[in-house]
């Protein structure tokens, strides 16, 4: 019986530690700087990026990571040097012409993206969230801002039902997009399996202590 008490204590401790973990999301950062000058449609785990709209001329409607410079007539990135490139003739985007769509592998509850003014006049953007039925469930409109000004658009949902989002400038207004982030939460069943697996390893290690030789990682 004495040998079981530490195991029971371990079970209680692990489950107690996992309980608050269910309410905390793991944030995935989709940063164009990680893949400079490359097509990034499926470059990041958990999300597919596409360029949508009549102003998109790429045959497969992919999203590229392109550098946008002041001397190119647009706006700088909010992080690093690269932004989402959603058209062949420029990095700026507008809902009426071309915009970014991010489709998630599983519904999420939090999405954010940096919206950067890129027009000659103050310009604003919008981040729209949709459920699996294609119904808009949330939207965030940024205030009109001069070229280079940055505002982070954020949408949240509980329950987590955001299947995809679209982001672009308001009709006729030009913006640049950068630094997409979204949050996912592990299923409770996955957390329980992780706890059970960890306890099995603990028990196995205890049984292997007697007469065993420790395995060490050595440099070649």
- Same domain for 171 and 197? no
- Same domain for 147 and 194? no
CATH number of the domain that 133 lies in? 2.60.120.200
Whether 214 is covered by a domain: the verdict is no
75 Cα distance to chain centroid? 22
Residue of 52, 62, 35 lying closest to 98 (CA atoms): 52
Whether 137 is covered by a domain: the verdict is yes
- Same domain for 125 and 47? yes
Number of domains in the chain: 2
Q: pLDDT tens, position by position, for the chain (220 residues)?
A: 555 555 545 544 544 444 444 444 589 999 988 988 888 889 999 999 988 877 776 655 666 666 654 445 567 889 988 888 765 545 566 666 778 999 999 999 999 999 998 878 899 999 999 999 999 999 999 999 998 999 999 999 999 999 999 999 888 788 889 999 999 764 443 344 444 444 444 444 444 344 332 222 233 2
- Same domain for 45 and 14? no
Note the pLDDT tens digit of each residue in 99-141: 899 999 999 999 999 999 887 889 999 999 999 999 999 999 9
Which residue intervals of 3-142 are DSSP H helices? 4-21
- Same domain for 88 and 197? no
The residues that bridge with 185 in the sheet, in sequence order, are none
Domain boundaries, position 120: 26-184
Tokens of 53: 């709209």
- Same domain for 148 and 68? yes
- Same domain for 91 and 126? yes
- Same domain for 117 and 162? yes
- Same domain for 57 and 155? yes
Whether 86 is covered by a domain: the verdict is yes
């Amino acid at each position: 019986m004495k040998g079981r008490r530490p195991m029971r204590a371990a079970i209680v401790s692990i489950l107690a530690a996992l309980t608050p973990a269910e309410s905390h999301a793991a944030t995935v950062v989709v940063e164009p700087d990680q893949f400079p000058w490359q097509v990034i449609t499926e470059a990041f785990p958990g999300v597919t990026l596409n360029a949508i709209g009549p102003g998109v001329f790429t045959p497969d409607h992919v999203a590229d990571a392109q550098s946008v410079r002041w001397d190119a007539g647009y706006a700088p990135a909010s992080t690093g040097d690269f932004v989402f490139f959603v058209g062949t003739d420029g990095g700026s985007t507008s809902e009426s012409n071309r915009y970014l769509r991010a489709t998630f592998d599983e519904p999420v509850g939090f999405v954010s993206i940096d919206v950067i003014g890129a027009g000659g006049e103050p310009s604003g953007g919008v981040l729209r969230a949709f459920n699996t039925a294609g119904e808009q469930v949330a939207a965030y409109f940024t205030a009109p801002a001069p070229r280079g000004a940055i505002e982070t658009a954020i949408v949240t949902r509980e329950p987590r039902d955001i299947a995809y989002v679209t982001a672009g400038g308001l009709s006729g207004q030009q913006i640049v997009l950068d630094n997409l982030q979204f949050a996912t939460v592990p299923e409770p069943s996955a957390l329980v399996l992780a706890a059970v697996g960890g306890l099995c390893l603990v028990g196995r290690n205890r049984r292997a202590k007697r007469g065993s030789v420790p395995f060490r990682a050595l440099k070649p």
